[in-house]
Every structure is written in C-alpha cells, then in structure tokens.
Amino acid sequence: MTAAPVTMPDAVDFIDVAALLTDEERLVRDTVRAFVRDRVLPNIAEWFEAGALPRDLGTQLGSLGVLGMHLEGYGCPGAGAVAYGVACLELEAGDSGVRSFASVQGSLAMYAIYRFGDEAQKRAWLPAMARGELVGCFGLSEPDFGSNPAGMRTSARRDGSDWILDGTKMWITNGSIADLAVVWAQTEDGIRGFIVPRETRGFSSSNIHRKLSLRASVTSELIFAGCRVPADALLPQGRGLGAPLACLNEARYGIVWGSMGAARSCYETALEYSKTRVQFDRPIGGYQLTQAKLVDMLLELNKGTLLALHVGRSKERGRVHPATISLAKLNNVREALQIARQARTILGANGVTLEYPVIRHMNNLESVLTYEGTSEMHTLIVGKEITGLDAFT
Ligand code: TGC
Ligand code: FAD
C-alpha cells in the first residue's frame, strides 16, 4: 500500500501547529482573526498615529467573547487556556494595544476580582466587565517602583470601617478610561487589593502623552489623595505581593501567545514584500541574505508558537510553574522583537512607515518587552529557579 503524499508545509505555520489545536480552538482562531481583519486592520494605523482607541472597542471585544474568556461563570465563557492564548495571538497580530486591552481587562482586573473577590464583588462587576460595558485597570506599578513592586508607597489605612488610599500609580493601561481600578496598596496587614470605582472622590487620573510605543492604547497615571472607599472595596482573599503576582502570571501567559501574533504579522508582511520587491532585476526574496532572514524568522515564529502551545496545555492540566511562564515570555517577546527588526530591514524604507504594520509592531514590542516584568526580571526569575540563588538584590 502506498502512503498518502505528504502535504506541502505552510509558509507561515511550517510545522503545522494548527494540527495540534482542537476544532473549538480553530473556531476561536478564525473568529478573532476575522474580527481583526474587519474591525482592527482597516483603522489601526490611524488609531496608532492619533494615539487613541475607539470608545466602543470594549463592547466590541465583549461581544467577541474575549474579555475574561478563560474565567468561568459570571458571564464569562470558561474557555481553555489554549483557546484564550489563540485569541491573544490573533488580537496581537492586529496590534499589541488591542491585546493589551483584553489582557488588562480579563487577565488582570477581572482575574483579580474573580480570584480574590467575594461573591458580591464578582456578581457586581464581572458580568458587565465581560460584556465590555465596564472597563477595568490594574494599578501595581508606581513612579519609583516598577520592577520591585514590593516597595510600593501607595497606602491604605483604616478609618472606622472605611479605607483611605493615598499614593500614585504609574503607567497604568486604560487608567483614564477605566470605570474601576484594581489598586494594590500597603496596609498594616501587608499588600492588599482594592476595587476603586472611577467616581470615588480623591481618585483622579491623567494620560501619559508622547509615547512612541503602544500608541493605540491609553496609558495613565492614577492619583489617590485621601481617597475613601468602603470596607467592601477590599478584595478579601488576596494577601501579600503574591496576590498581584498571581494576576501577572495570567497576563504574562497571554503575552507568550500574543507576541507570536505580532511576529507572525511582521513575518507575513516581509515574506510577501520579498516576493514582489525587485532590485537588480530580481525579487529580493531570491537573494540568499533575504532568505536567511526569512528562514530565521520562520524558525523562531514556529518554535515560539509551539512553546506557547506547550505552556498552554500544561496550564490546562494545572501544571505550569510561574517561572515556566517567565521563560516563555522572555523567549517569545525577545524573538518577536528580533523578527520585527529583521522584517523592518527587508522592507527597506517602506519599513519605517505606517503603510505597513512592521514598525508599529516593532515599537509596540518594546513596551511588551518591559511590561509584565522586564526581560531582565524574567531572566532573574528563571536564574533563581535553576540556581536556587536570588540575584534581584
Ligand atoms: P518574592 O519574595 O519573590 O515573592 C513575594 C511573594 O509572592 C510569591 N510569588 C508569586 N506568586 C504567584 N505568582 C508569581 N509569579 C510569584 N512570584 C512570587 C512568593 O512566593 C511570595 O509569596 P509569600 O507567600 O512567600 O509571601 O518577591 P520579590 O519582592 O523578591 O519580587 C519578585 C519579583 C522581582 C520576581 C517580582 O517583584 C516581579 O515579578 N517584578 C516584576 C513586576 C512586574 O511584572 N510588574 C508588572 C506590572 S502590571 C503590568 O505591567 C501590566 S501591562 C498590561 C498590558 O498593557 O498588557
Ligand atoms: P525599572 O524597574 O526602573 O527598570 C529599569 C531597568 O532596570 C530595566 O531594564 C530593568 O530590567 C532593570 N532592573 C531593575 N531592577 C533590576 C535588577 N535587580 N537587576 C537587573 N536589572 C534590573 N504597570 C501596571 O501596574 N499596570 C499596567 O497596566 C501597566 N501598563 C503598562 C503599559 C505600558 C505601555 C508600559 C510601558 C508599562 C506599563 N506598566 C504597567 C508598567 C510596567 O510594568 C513597568 O514599566 C515595568 O514593570 C518596569 O518598571 P519600570 O518601568 O519602573 O522600570
């Protein structure tokens, strides 16, 4: 009996990672990809240039079902980790800012309430957040405490049954468009989380301007000046720095996938360009130097996507260590940035304009390399795991 002929490898998914997805995961992929094609790609260069996102992006993403997608109940679909990862990849193939919106909403603000909130808090906030009718932000970083959140100065002190918050949070995605902020503060009982509704007196925010990265995303400063919240603003189940760090595991996981979306977009753009751009009477894709770049890009794109899938399957079995997520975030963002830079060179001068997605992704990935733990922090997290020695201080 003769074996069936082996199918030609796909020029993007060369090792056929798609074959390892379930039908449901492929449906998620196709649905989110179509959303990005129809609603994001026609407008994203304009949003990036203007430094703004449309007001109804939240409800659009809510209707798509990607906000709190991996949470269960309270209006959330309870999708698996891989389905959520695939959605992040497709969103970030559009723009890192769009994936950031979904990450901050679902993996940070909603997850904090889901994991550390009480029943009343979950019922009050999560369904409307899943629909994107309410936008949340996550305030951990401060002007003087980014990589080292343990040192945060924002404080919450008891006054009767109320709490009074004082301090400043910095670089907060969606901060000034958020209806509620999940804020982490020092208390006499260690670091605790609070839900602070937008209209609370003593809570204000302002946008950070002149960013050259992640422009299609709002980044803000949050100020708490004698901000009084009632006792039921406290997230009762989260104590210590481990609570916000547990939320970061979720968002870092989304980035492991998402960064491969930005990388894919850059690779596809460079591949197409190389086949049509003619110099010295031949398409530049016919030159060995260009092929070497394209093949290196393809290698890292396929390896990184496979790594994301493996981490996702481990997560679904409940067997993923935070340091494994660090290793994957470190690798995939670093390689995505390298792919974007290589793609940029293949596009020549066209690589520096917003007519093509490459420089937008490249600039965005500089933020992705820094937020959710810098590449240095993830190196030290993995370093500590393999040596048993803490090199942070
Ligand atoms: P350390 O003593 O190691 O740990 C304190 C407590 O936390 C526990 N823990 C974790 N728990 C869950 N998940 C993790 N990944 C955890 N890592 C540590 C740990 O077991 C301990 O628990 P306990 O019970 O013993 O108290 O803490 P450290 O102060 O030495 O710091 C460790 C370090 C440097 C790794 C941590 O501070 C860190 O990850 N720094 C980076 C900060 C960061 O990633 N910030 C991100 C801010 S949010 C953001 O960027 C959003 S961008 C969103 C977007 O737009 O997409
Ligand atoms: P720093 O911590 O000051 O680090 C500066 C440099 O020093 C880095 O290279 C770092 O790796 C290095 N470094 C620091 N300590 C060490 C050490 N021990 N050993 C070796 N090197 C070290 N935060 C939130 O809480 N919520 C958000 O929604 C959010 N959104 C963001 C959106 C954007 C666009 C950006 C850019 C940031 C956002 N952040 C958010 C903040 C982000 O998490 C921090 O920027 C990040 O954690 C790094 O902190 P930092 O910028 O203060 O840098």
Arithmetic mean of pLDDT, 349-363: 98
Q: Is 126 exposed, middle or buried (0-12, 13-18, 19+ CB in 10 A)?
A: buried
Arithmetic mean of pLDDT, 257-263: 99
pLDDT of residue 4: 81
Q: What is the sign of the dihedral through the CA atoms of 92, 95, 97 and 102?
A: negative
Query: What backbone torsions phi and psi does residue 103 show, to the nearest 5 degrees?
Result: -65, -50
Write out the catalytic residue numbers. Answer: 372
DSSP class of residue 18?
Answer: G
Choose one of 141, 177, 326 to mutate for the ligand 2 pocket test, by most ligand atoms within 8 angstroms of C-beta. 141
**pLDDT tens string 122-138:** 999 999 999 999 999 99
Measured by CA distance, the residue closest to atom 49 of ligand 1 is 372
For the chain, what percent of residues have pLDDT higher than 70? Answer: 100
Strands 278-279 and 282-283 turn out to be antiparallel
Q: What is the overall mean pLDDT for the chain?
A: 97
The CATH code belonging to domain 17-130 is 1.10.540.10
DSSP class of residue 151?
Answer: G
Arithmetic mean of pLDDT, 21-40: 98
pLDDT band at 2 (very low <50, low <70, confident <90, very high): confident
Query: How distant is the alpha carbon of residue 71 from its chain centre?
Result: 16
| CA 91 / ligand 2 centre spacing (Å) | 23
pLDDT of residue 213: 98
Choose one of 111, 171, 241 to mutate for the ligand 1 pocket test, by most ligand atoms within 8 angstroms of C-beta. 241
Arithmetic mean of pLDDT, 203-210: 97
Arithmetic mean of pLDDT, 167-188: 98
Burial 165-188, CB ≥16 within 10 A → b, else e: bbbbbbbbbbbbbbbbbbbbbbbe
Q: Is the pLDDT of residue 1 over 80?
A: no
Kindly report whether the global pTM for this prediction surpasses the value 0.85. Answer: yes
Q: Any idea which fold 243-387 has?
A: Butyryl-CoA Dehydrogenase, subunit A; domain 3 (1.20.140)
Whether 136-240 and 17-130 are alike in CATH topology: the answer is: no
**pLDDT tens string 178-190:** 999 999 999 999 9
**What are the residues whose beta carbons fall under 8 Å from the beta carbon of 137, sequence distance 6 or more?**
104, 108, 109, 172, 173, 174, 175, 178, 180, 181, 182, 220, 222
Residues 373, 340: Cα–Cα separation, whole Å: 20
383 lines ligand 2 (CB under 6 A): no
Query: What backbone torsions phi and psi does residue 225 show, to the nearest 5 degrees?
Result: -125, 100
Identify the CATH class of 136-240. Answer: mainly beta
| CA 190 / ligand 1 centre spacing (Å) | 14
Paired with 155 in beta bridges are: 166, 186
Arithmetic mean of pLDDT, 263-281: 98
pLDDT of residue 7: 86
Q: Which residues line ligand 1 (CB under 6 A)?
A: 100, 103-104, 138, 140-141, 147-150, 173, 240-242, 245-246, 248-249, 251, 322, 371-373, 377, 381, 392
Two tokens, residue 164: 């009074």
Show me where the domains of the chain are located: 17-130, 136-240, 243-387
Q: Is the pLDDT of residue 41 over 90?
A: yes
pLDDT of residue 5: 80
Residue 87's closest CA among 308, 267, 275?
308
Q: Supply angle C-alpha 141, 384, 243, rounded to 5.
A: 40
Residue with tokens 């000034």: 176
Residue 247's closest CA among 388, 378, 140, 90?
140
pLDDT of residue 6: 85
